[in-house]
Structures are given as structure tokens and as C-alpha cells.
Amino acid sequence: MSKHTPQPQSVFDSALLRGALIDSLKKLDPRTLWRNPVMLCVEIASLITLVTFTMSLTGANNEPAWFTGAVSIWLWLTVIFSTFAEALAEGRGKARAASLRKSRTDVTAKRLDKAEFGQNYTTVGASQLRKGDLVLVEANDMIAGDGDVIAGAALVNESAVTGESAPVIRESGGDRSAVTGGTTVISGNIIVRITANPGETFLDKMIGLIEGAKRRKTPNEVALEVLLIALTLVFLLVCANISPLSIYSVKAAGQGTPVSLTILVALFVCLAPTTIAALLPAIGIAGMDRLFQKNVIALSGRAIEAAGDVNVLLLDKTGTITHGNREAVAFVPVGGHNERELAEAALMASLADETPEGRSVVLLARQQYGLNRETPTDGELVEFSADTRLSGLNLEGTRYRKGASDATIAFVKKQGASAIPVDLAGVVDRIARAGATPLVVSKGSEILGVINLKDIVKAGIQERFLRLRSMGIKTVMITGDNPLTAAAIAAEAQVDDFLAQARPEEKLRLIREYQEQGYMVAMTGDGTNDAPALAQADVAVAMNTGTQPAREAANIIDLDSNPTKLLDIVEVGKQILMTRGNLTTFSISNDIAKYFAIIPAALLSIYPQLAALNVMQLTSPFSAILSAVIFNAIIIPMLVPLALKGTGFRPMPAEKLLIHNLLIYGVGGIIAPFVGIKAIDMVIGLVV
Amino acid sequence: MNPYELLQTIVFFITLLVLIKPLGSYMARIFQGERTFLSPIMTPCENLVYRISGVNPEDEMGWRRYAGAMLLFNLALFVSLFVMLLTQHLLPLNPQKVPPFTWQLALNTAISFTTNTNWQAYVGEQAVSYFTQMAGLAVHNFVSAATGLVIAIAVIRGFVRRKTSQLGNFWVDLTRCTLYILLPISMIFSLVLVSQGVIQNFSAYRNLPLVQSTSYDKPKLDDKGAPLKDAKGNPVVESVPVKEVQIPMGPVASQEAIKELGTNGGGFFNANSAHPFENPTPLSNFIEILLILLIPGALTYTFGVMVGNTRQGWALLGVMLLILITAFAVLQWAESSGNPLVVKQGIQSINMEGKEVRNGLAGSNLFTVATTGTSCGAVNSMHDSLTPLGGMVPLSLILLGEIIFGGVGSGLYTMLAFAIIAVFVSGLMIGRTPEYLGKKIEVREMWMSILVILTAGVTVLILSGIAMITPTAVASMANPGAHGLSEVLYGLASVSNNNGSAFAGLNANVNFYNLLGSLAMTLGRYVPAIAVLAMAGSLAEKKFIPPSLGTLPTDKAPFALWLTLVILIVGALTFFPALALGPIVEHLMMVS
């Protein structure tokens, strides 16, 4: 299967940069910027410095014009860096959206009045289709809108949506009836009932999400913004407070000048949590984009962040934990027969059996015993029926059968068997207890032995569950098997718990129970019978191959239809939160150094003794303040790659993770600006 | 620190720690409505209170009703004290015939005692009758402390309860708090203090002959009351002989224990706990410091018991102890190093100015950090006389928001608000929606926590800015320059954070400070109180999230250290410029 995963774009792609630059200037409009109140404050601060700069030029302000001018430029750059970060993150999404949109242009549809082939159709534009309309899609047509196949079957190329070049089958009834607008039918004819109005289709939603146009702030983001606004307000008051305090101090000390407006504004911008506020929108957008690179579409930012909090993951057994089908792994003879005898009979009984289980018996017999028989032409095939619950082959008067233990016993007794081998019950019981399925094989009226049919747990699945467990996520397997089988598979796959003989309402009840206990529940599913449970789960991942109801109930759609994708989704969710938290800590830790740069500089004329606080030995008050402002501005573009990529995540206990991040972003956040400001001051010293 | 002082300090902290668990679990039993050894005596009293007041003790309240009852009760307290102060000359037990308060001072004082601030812009022994002291101020000492405590209990219930809007009954909590906790402890310790020599009587003030008479110079005034000047322009003075001294009396002991226990701090006398009738011996000093820290400390254990994990309480106590002991060490260092100006003369001496010799350096310093770390505000030494860096210690403890043990109840709930902020940021840093004690921290909790921790700081920033450019406010300073700025900053920090101690230099009985102070005390008390109750209401309605591997443990050292850092960083970032222009520059000027 070949895949074309969306190209991971480099952060600094030149075309992208150019577009982002233009957008970043457009975003300076206060009507756009008010969504980021902290940066709006910085913009106002920049305007104020522009005024003080013009006053310097006209002589109304006795600060040197180079100083007020430089401060003003750097404050403007602070705002622009912030809007640039956001524009860059959006730009990456926009480029993807544009490629998606191409697949949608000028589609026409063949509208039908009745759901029958061979009717006359009217050709209409895709935009005229409404929910409930019936359309005919023939080979090489593009499907005009989201819908359900209600008649026929077709091979559909969905690469426009999934990036998957291998076509998939879509047919009426069952779990494969959903089709997506923008995909192309390769062969076959189908009639589709449209399920979404134009503008509301899956592709539309996807484009909207990727572009970030519909992005709403998540509760976590709002809560963080509350904190940032509060801090900004406090720093505004701190700076406002310095003015009267310095006026008093000038009188008390009998020398110096009160702190100027330019310096107060500069101090305010330096103290305000501009680093995190500037990068906050970019972090969320980039997170969605990273998920998209992994072929996952999150229908809301909230769902991704909720994924970071998941403590319970419900997984459908089939196709997730085990390969879809059971396989024969051993032949166990009974009643004194040998293995080869049994293998031969099993092979005969399965030759006509086209089910995956049947094929696996044939395969095992061939591989282990070198038996090779073509399906005999003169034999009479006995297909599995609900009555006999047996399948097999009648050849030259010999009846080969295989089936459940009780069914086979009943069959051989009818054939006149004198006795059932005494060790049969023991073998059947042992296999069932181990979670496998025993299939009893008979030849004529004799029972030869048992085929051990086993669910094969996917390779490497244990490590994935281990990784989930180390993140604090409990895995629960959901299966229709009986509890015995389920327990054995659960033990082998090392899931934490299982729900056996699960019916849809039981899945729903289980999710509700977990939620009642306060857990965040994630569920992966694809079938229509999963839809209620998906709707109830906090994080619902639907496979793209799933049915329309399943996809509608979900808030995350996995285009690869790989159920263990949740691991990636959880990681991205956590990364988004961590990046925000780490940058907040970094931003606030920075303030300590900025105080030590600006406060002595601002108050030096009043109290020369405060030079003792100039621990960085900055050359002059003007240079000190300018250095802090420049550091505050350039740290934003320097951190853009981090904001877009997210901080690294390795599963480890919460406490360790906290210490790890505190050391990097907390302690680092205290030290970095001391170094940075000193370096910038030295450069300014060379220039001025 | 000499070995004796070191021993005294160690014994003090051990005693405190030993008492925290028994008192803490006792308080938990009280607020969970369980029986205690006092029940046989107190239950009848309790039921009598409910019968008289018509309270149905089974009636649970949502946060709005709880806050409403609290505000109504406090309004009644305010009005009763305000009226009493204005009419005390008409009321009994006034042997000194003290006149009524002016309305501005009465307003300030009534708000001050209702809000548990106990800022005193009056002189106790000159301005207040025994009736007002006992029926007014002492009663307020009990119930204002109880108000703070029950709010904290309601907040704890918010964390403990699940999917309910009910936080308990304010009247029941208030009654039980007063009857079972504050009254019994105060009664015992009043008697202990009497044993040390604290007075308790209704006598008129006594005039005693001095063993050695003395005299002082008094400027002569002309007919209009202006000072007379001689030909050279110097004031003309006359010598006034002093043969007698007036000794104030009063029912001091009954008010003294609750003054500390309720972290009120309003002294019977102006000299507060430096006065020998309030705090006569080193032992009484030891007990008074202990009483200041007792309930706020024990409440952390109560919190732990009620949330079902006592380690959560110990973690908060650890943060408080860490900062308190650090503050004490810095203060002790600054004061032992002596006044830099004196040291510069080549005289190495500790700074005993403004301290009582019987309390000693460590006994004074420990009292200072205890009274400012909590919102008590009683003093046994003059904070104005501390060295600049030494004076910055109590000032900083107040500016941190009164959480280092903090006021009775208010200390814990403000600390919990800090914990929520700390949990929020650290929760993000580990990639989870932040949760504390199994409750998710969302937008509403953030808003409320921020209101709780920043109201006082914002008030200080705004008011100190106004004060420094208001001539009457500046004129109240006793010292010019940076020290004067410290005095104003300290005074406004004290009222905004409901501490009530003063840097002592400032003349606070002027309309500017009386009125702005009243506003600051009201905002500083009720905005956080209402916000924290609103938060409790929303927390109680949330479901409980069981901890998993991915949950950040908040009962272990790393989180406690992070919380400590958050507290210190928020404090430092908010007040660094003001401190730089006050105590820091004063120190730098002294040493340079």
C-alpha cells in the first residue's frame, strides 16, 4: 500500500514566509488583534512610543531621538513577530487547504428522482445538491457530496481525502456505505443519498479546520489567557505605580528626573508575558497541523486537548489488538490418531471453506505437513449452515466435517459412531480455556482431533499498551467473544481490562460508568453500532473507512484507519498543553532579568546607589533598556520553531516531567535573558 | 544568634508542629459535625443559639447564600461597632470618660475590626472605653476570625464535595467555630497570660509617683496657639516637671488571647504586645507567637483530613514553614548585623532600637515574622526601627498576600488560590488539563483565584501611587526619603492585606488614610472572600477525577517547591520596583 503522507513542510519555507509576512502586517489591525489582548496592549504601547519619538524629534521630549526611535521600532517588531508567528502557522494550513480545494472545483452531479439504476438523470452543479438528494455516480465520476451508498457497489479512490492511493470498496448496506465528496469512483455504479448540504460536507469542514478559520479557543487556552491578561494588568499597574513613586523619590532625593513615559512603556512590554501571548495562537494551529501530517483530522481543538487527558481507552478487539481473523495454529489429535491423519482430514474439510479461518487451516496443513491437495472436482461441498453448524466435503463416500464440538459429536453419532474418544473433552476444554477456538474434525463416523484456532495478537501491540500505561492511560478491550476467550487475549495483549460479549448498549454503559467515576474516555470505532458509544466518549476516533454515523459521532477522524493512532493524538494533545505551559513559565521567568536591566537604569538619576542592582554591568541606562526591549522582541521569532513543532514529549511520571520542564524552561528562563541582554548590550555598545 | 535564642526558636517550632495535628483533626471533627469531648457542654449551648436565632442547622447553602449570609453578618458587625464608637461616651464602663470617635475614625475602626484587619488609627488607652473594648472590639476579634475560618471550610468542602451546589450552613459553621474552637482556647490562654502578669480589671487608670522625677521641654505657645520664638528665631521652651505617671488599666487578658489566636492584632494599648501589661514575660511572648500561628497552621491539617489526604495539608504547611523560617533567618541576620550607619562608625552591635529587651532579638524577630506572615498585625517591637533590609522582611511577608500561615481561614484560602495557579501552569507543563485535589481547574477557577491573590496587590499598587503624589499623604510620614516611602507602602500593604500592623512612623489618623484605608480593607477582605466562595461553589459541582499516573501529585516536595517559587515570583514581580525605591535603596544609601 503506498501512501502519500502530507509533506512535512520545513518551518522556513520561503514562499510560506513571504505569505506570512504580508498576513502578519494585515493582522496588526486592532479589530483583528483584539482577540489577543496582551498583544493589543503591546500595540498600544508601540503607538505611545511612536508619539514620544516624534516628541523627541521636535524637542518636546528631552530623551535622545535614537533611543525613543529604537525603542519604538523594537516594540513594533514585537507585535509584528507575534502576528507573524500566527500567520506562519496558519499559512502552513492554508497551503494544504488550497490543495484540497482544488479537488472540489466544478463537480457536476447526476441527480435522480428514484433510487433505481437506468433512470434518467438531470445534471446539476454540486452546489445545488441538498440533503436527501439522490445522485448516480458512474465510473470515473467524482462524487459530488458526502453521502451514503444506497444501491450498488463501487471501487472508490479516496486519495484526495486520505492520501491513500489504494482504492476502497464502497457498497450499500453494512459498514462501508459512506462516501465522501471529492473522491472518485474508479469502477462500478452507485446511487448515493446526499447527507450534507454544500458548505457542510466533510471536505468543507476539513478545509475550514485546516485553514484555522473556524478555530475556536479551547477552554484551556481561555484559562491561560485569563492568567496572561491578569499578569498584563498587574504589570500595567506596576509601571503606572513607578511614575508617582519616582516623582516622590525625585523630591525626596533632591535630584534626578521621574521615570519617562518611554521607559515605563518599554518596561511594561518587557514585563508583560509577550513571549507566550505572541506564540499562543500559533501553538494551537500548529498542533492541528501536526496531527494532519499524521493523517488525523481533529474536528475541534478541544478534542485534541481532551485526548491529552484521556485516562481510559476503549479499543475494539478485532482489527486493533488482533488481526481481524482467527488462524489455525495447531492440530491436536485424539483417540489414538496421529497428527498427520488429522491434518489430512482437516485439510479435506476445509478445502471448500473460503472463510479466512478455513484458508488458515489449509495453509497450516500445507506448511506443517507438506500436504497439497487441490479442491477435488468430484467432491460435494458442504457449506456452513446455521442448522448443522458444520462445514466440510463429501468425497468418494467419505464425509469430512469440522465444526464446534457439540455439533460434530452430534454429527458422528448420527453417522453411527460407537464411541467418542475419551480425551476429546479434555482437549476441547484446554483450548477454549486458553482463549482459542476448538474446531473438532471428523472423518466418517470417527472423530480424529481438534484444530486450535487462535486470535493472533498483533506484533508489538504490547509495547504500545505499555507506552499508554506509562502515560497513565488504562486500556480496555471490547469484544464480542465469550469472557474466557476475551480474558486469554487480554492477558496476551496485556490490556488492563476487557469487556466481553459487548453489545452496543453495554459499550455505552461502560463509557458512562467510567465517566461517572471521573475518567476521560477515548474510544476508537468504525461500525454503525459503535456510533452511540462514540458520541458518548470524550474523545471519539472514527476510522475513515467507517460508516457515516460513526464518522458523524466522532470528533477525530483517522484517515489511515489505524486504531492505535490514538497514541499519536494523545501525544499531540499533551504537546500542545506542554508547549503553552513551558513557554508561560519561560516568559515569566524572563522578567527577573528584565527587572535587573531596567529598574536600575530607570532610577539611576534619582538614586545613583541603585547601580548596585545593575548586576549585568550594562553600559548605559539607555543601552540597558534597549537591550531588554530587543531581547523581549527577538525571543519571539527564536521560539517560533519550538511553538510550531511543540516541546518534546517522552512518557514519564508526571513529577519527573515537571522537574524536567522546570529545569529547562524555568531555570533556563531565568538565566537566558541575563546572557541575552548582556550580549545585546555589548553589541549596542559597539554601535553607539 | 546565640545558643539560647537558637534553642528558643527550635523549641518554638517543635511546639507548634506538635500542636498542629491534634488541633487540626479536632477542627476537622467540628466542621464535619462530629462529636468531640466538648460536645456534652457545648451542644446545649449550640442548640440554644439555633433556637433563639431560628436557624435550621440542617439547611445547607449554595455559595451565593453562604456568601450572602457572610456579608449580611459582617454588615451587622460593622454597623454595631460603628454606632458603638460614635456613642461610647453614652455607654457604661467608661471610667476615663473617653469621648466618641470622629465618624471618619469610627468608620475606619469599625471596618478594620470587622475585616479582621485591626488597623488602629487611634490610641487604645486614650480613645476607647472598656465597654467598647469588650463588647465591641473583643467580640469582633472572635467573629471576624470565625468568618475567615468558615469561609476556608466552605472552600475545602468545595474541593471535597461532588456534584452538589451545597457548601454547608454559614450560621452553623460560625456558631460551631466560635463555641468549640475560639472560645475554649481563648479562655485557657487568657488565664495562662494572667499567670504571666497580663492585667484584667475595670479600674480607672492609676497615677503613681515616679521614683525619680523628671522633666521635659515644652514649646511655649502664644494666645493663638502658635509657638513663640525668641529674637534669634528659635522656639521658646519651658521646662515641665514630671512627678507622676498615669498607668492605664483594663480588661486586657480576656482580649489578649483572641487578639493573637484570631490573627486580629488590635492591641488593647497602643504599644500592643510591646506593652508589659499585654506581654509581660518571655514566656508570654512565646505563647503569643504560638497563638498567632496556631490556627492557621492547624487548619492545613484540617484541610488534609477533610480532603482525605493529610499529605496535601502537610505540603501547604511545608511551603508556609519554608518561607516563614527563611524570612526569620533574613530578619535575624539583618538585625544582628546592626544598623549599617552605626556599623560604619566601627561599632559592631545588634539593632535593638524599638525592641523590648525582655523579648530579646530572636523573640522580637520571631514575633515580627509571625505577625506579618499571618495577617495578625500585633507587634512586640517597632517595625519602623528595623534596619532597611530587616524592615523589608515583614513588608514582603505582607505583600506576598498574607499566606505564610496567613489570617485565620483567609491564609488557607488565599494559599489554595495560589496552589490553583501553580497547579494550572504546572499542569500545562506536564501536558494535562490541570486538576487539583481531583477537581479540574477551568476558566472560572482561574478568574476567581486571580481575584483572590491579586486584589490586595492591585489595591496596594493603586493606592501607593495615589499616596505618593498626594501632599497630605506624604505629610503623614515621620521620616523623609526612601524610609518615608517604606512607611506609606507598609501602611497601605497592611490595610489592603488585612494585616493591621503599621510601620509606626506614619500618622494614620488623617482623612486620607482613614478613608482610603477603609476602602482598601473592605476590598482586601470581601473581594477575595466572595471570589473564593464562588470558586468553591463551582468546584463542588464538578465531578471527582481519580488520580492516575499522569496526574501531578500535589502532596510531594516538587510541587511544594514549585508553589513556593510561584508565590515568591508573583510577589517579587509585583513589588520589585516599589521595594527598590523603598527599603533597597535605603539600605544601599546607608552602606555606600
Q: Do A171 and A153 contact (CB within 8 A), yes or no?
A: yes
Tell me, what's the ipTM? 0.92
The residue with cell 487527558 is A309
Q: Which residues of A touch B548 (CB under 8 A)?
A: 311, 472-474
List, for residues A586-641, the tens digit of each pLDDT value.
999 999 999 999 999 999 999 999 999 999 999 999 999 999 999 999 999 999 99
Cα–Cα distance, B46 to A498 (Å, whole number): 54
Which of B432, B468, B474 is the best residue to mutate to test the A interface, defined by the most A CB atoms within 10 Å of its own CB?
Answer: B432
Asked whether the predicted pLDDT for residue A199 surpasses 90, the reply is no
Question: With an 8 Å Cβ cutoff, is A655 touching chain B?
Answer: yes
Verify whether the Cβ–Cβ distance A603 to B442 is below 8 Å.
no
pLDDT at A2: 38
pLDDT at A319: 63
Which of A216, A220, A538 is the best residue to mutate to test the B interface, defined by the most B CB atoms within 10 Å of its own CB?
Answer: A220
Minimum CA–CA partner of A612 in chain B? B588
Residue B132 to residues A140, A291, A331, B4, Cα–Cα distance (Å)? 96, 70, 99, 41
Cα–Cα distance, B502 to B477 (Å, whole number): 12
Q: Which of B421, B465, B545 sits opposite A245 (nearest CB)?
A: B465
List, for residues A311-350, the tens digit of each pLDDT value.
898 887 766 677 666 788 888 998 888 888 888 888 888 8
Verify whether the Cβ–Cβ distance A585 to B425 is below 8 Å.
yes
Q: Which of B431, B468, B553 sits opposite A308 (nearest CB)?
A: B431
Q: Do A439 and A453 contact (CB within 8 A), yes or no?
A: yes
pLDDT at B592: 83
The B residues from 242 to 271 touching A (CB cutoff 8 Å) are: none
Percent helix, percent strand, percent coil in chain B, to nearest 5: 65, 5, 30
Q: Do A268 and A236 contact (CB within 8 A), yes or no?
A: yes
Verify whether the Cβ–Cβ distance A241 to B465 is below 8 Å.
yes
Catalytic annotation present for A175: no
The B residues from 403 to 422 touching A (CB cutoff 8 Å) are: 421
Verify whether the Cβ–Cβ distance B589 to A666 is below 8 Å.
no
Retrieve residue A296's grid coordinates: 488525523
Verify whether the Cβ–Cβ distance B581 to A607 is below 8 Å.
yes
Cα–Cα distance, B436 to A83 (Å, whole number): 34
- What's chain A's average pLDDT? 84
Q: How many CB atoms lie within 10 A of CB A641?
A: 13
Cα–Cα distance, A327 to A309 (Å, whole number): 37
Closest CA to B542 of B167, B32, B168, B158: B158
Residue A404 to residues A328, A401, A451, B126, B480, Cα–Cα distance (Å)? 14, 10, 10, 103, 101
Q: How confident is the model at residue A8 (pLDDT cuts 50, 70, 90)?
A: very low
Q: Do A60 and A119 contact (CB within 8 A), yes or no?
A: no
Run of H or E including A400: strand A398-403
pLDDT at A619: 92
Task: Tell me whether strands A380-382 and A497-499 are parallel, antiparallel or unpaired.
Answer: unpaired
Instruction: Determine which one of A316, A538, A560, A591 is catalytic.
Output: A316
pLDDT at A501: 79
pLDDT at A1: 35
Q: Which residues of B touch A582 (CB under 8 A)?
A: 428-429
Minimum CA–CA partner of A251 in chain B? B481
Question: With an 8 Å Cβ cutoff, is B576 touching chain A?
Answer: yes
List, for residues A248-262, the tens digit of each pLDDT value.
999 999 999 999 999
Helix A621-645 to helix A261-271 angle, to the nearest 10 degrees? 30
Name the β-bridge partners of A475.
A313
Q: Calculate the dihedral angle through the C-alpha atoms of A657, A658, A662, A663, rounding to the nearest 10 degrees.
A: -40
Verify whether the Cβ–Cβ distance B425 to A581 is below 8 Å.
yes
Run of H or E including A401: strand A398-403
The A residues from 608 to 627 touching B (CB cutoff 8 Å) are: 609-610, 612-613
pLDDT at A218: 84
Q: Do A433 and A421 contact (CB within 8 A), yes or no?
A: no
Residue B540 to residues A125, B9, B130, B168, B445, Cα–Cα distance (Å)? 55, 40, 44, 11, 12
Amino acid at A394: N
pLDDT at A4: 42
Q: Do A312 and A519 contact (CB within 8 A), yes or no?
A: yes
Q: What are phi and psi of A402, to 5 degrees?
A: -145, 150
DSSP string, B275-309: STTTS-SHHHHHHHHHHHHHHHHHHHHHHHHHTT-
Q: Do A420 and A447 contact (CB within 8 A), yes or no?
A: yes
Question: With an 8 Å Cβ cutoff, is B346 touching chain A?
Answer: no
3-state SS class at B474: helix
Q: How confident is the model at residue A5 (pLDDT cuts 50, 70, 90)?
A: very low
Q: Do A669 and A586 contact (CB within 8 A), yes or no?
A: yes
Verify whether the Cβ–Cβ distance A578 to B543 is below 8 Å.
no
Q: What is the pTM of this model?
A: 0.85
More confident residue, B234 or A57: A57
Write down the domain spans for chain B. 206-247
pLDDT at A652: 79
pLDDT at A431: 86
Retrieve residue A609's grid coordinates: 546607589
Q: How many CB atoms lie within 10 A of CB B255?
A: 25
The B residues from 13 to 52 touching A (CB cutoff 8 Å) are: none
Verify whether the Cβ–Cβ distance B584 to A666 is below 8 Å.
no
Q: Do A210 and A96 contact (CB within 8 A), yes or no?
A: yes
Question: With an 8 Å Cβ cutoff, is B486 touching chain A?
Answer: no
DSSP string, B328-349: HHHHHHHHHH--HHHHHTT---
Question: With an 8 Å Cβ cutoff, is B492 touching chain A?
Answer: no
Q: Which residues of B touch A519 (CB under 8 A)?
A: 545-546
Task: Tell me whether strands A147-157 and A168-171 are parallel, antiparallel or unpaired.
Answer: antiparallel
Verify whether the Cβ–Cβ distance A585 to B429 is below 8 Å.
yes
Verify whether the Cβ–Cβ distance A235 to B469 is below 8 Å.
no
Question: With an 8 Å Cβ cutoff, is B474 touching chain A?
Answer: yes
Q: How far away is chain A from the Cα of B20, in angstroms, using its nearest Cα? A: 28
Cα–Cα distance, A60 to A54 (Å, whole number): 8
Q: How confident is the model at residue A563 (pLDDT cuts 50, 70, 90)?
A: low
Question: With an 8 Å Cβ cutoff, is A648 touching chain B?
Answer: no
SS3 assignment for B29-85: HHHCCCCCCCHHHHHHHHHHHHHHHCCCCCCCCEHHHHHHHHHHHHHHHHHHHHHHH
DSSP string, A425-488: HHHHHHHHHTT-EEEEEEETTEEEEEEEEEEEEPTTHHHHHHHHHHTT-EEEEE-SS-HHHHHH
Q: What is the block-wise mean pLDDT of chain B (592 residues), using blocks of 10 residues?
A: 91 97 97 93 95 94 97 97 96 91 95 95 92 94 97 97 94 96 97 96 92 85 76 81 91 95 94 95 96 97 96 97 97 94 87 93 96 94 94 96 95 97 94 90 95 95 94 86 92 94 83 93 97 96 85 92 95 95 94 86
Verify whether the Cβ–Cβ distance B431 to A665 is below 8 Å.
no
The A residues from 489 to 518 touching B (CB cutoff 8 Å) are: 516-518
The B residues from 537 to 566 touching A (CB cutoff 8 Å) are: 543-546, 548-553, 556, 558-559, 562, 565
The B residues from 427 to 466 touching A (CB cutoff 8 Å) are: 427-433, 438, 441-443, 445-447, 450, 454, 457-458, 461-462, 464-466
CA atoms within 13 A on the CB side of B232: 3
Closest CA to A145 of A158, A127, A162: A127
List, for residues A80-133, the tens digit of each pLDDT value.
999 999 888 888 777 777 766 665 556 778 888 887 887 788 888 777 888 888
From the CA atom positions of chain B, what is the Rg in Å? 24
Minimum CA–CA partner of A647 in chain B? B429
Q: Which of A219, A248, A469 sits opposite B474 (nearest CB)?
A: A248
Q: Which of B438, B468, B592 sits opposite A518 (nearest CB)?
A: B438
Verify whether the Cβ–Cβ distance B581 to A246 is below 8 Å.
yes
From the CA atom positions of chain A, what is the Rg in Å? 34
Cα–Cα distance, A118 to A110 (Å, whole number): 12
Retrieve residue A309's grid coordinates: 487527558
Minimum CA–CA partner of A585 in chain B? B425
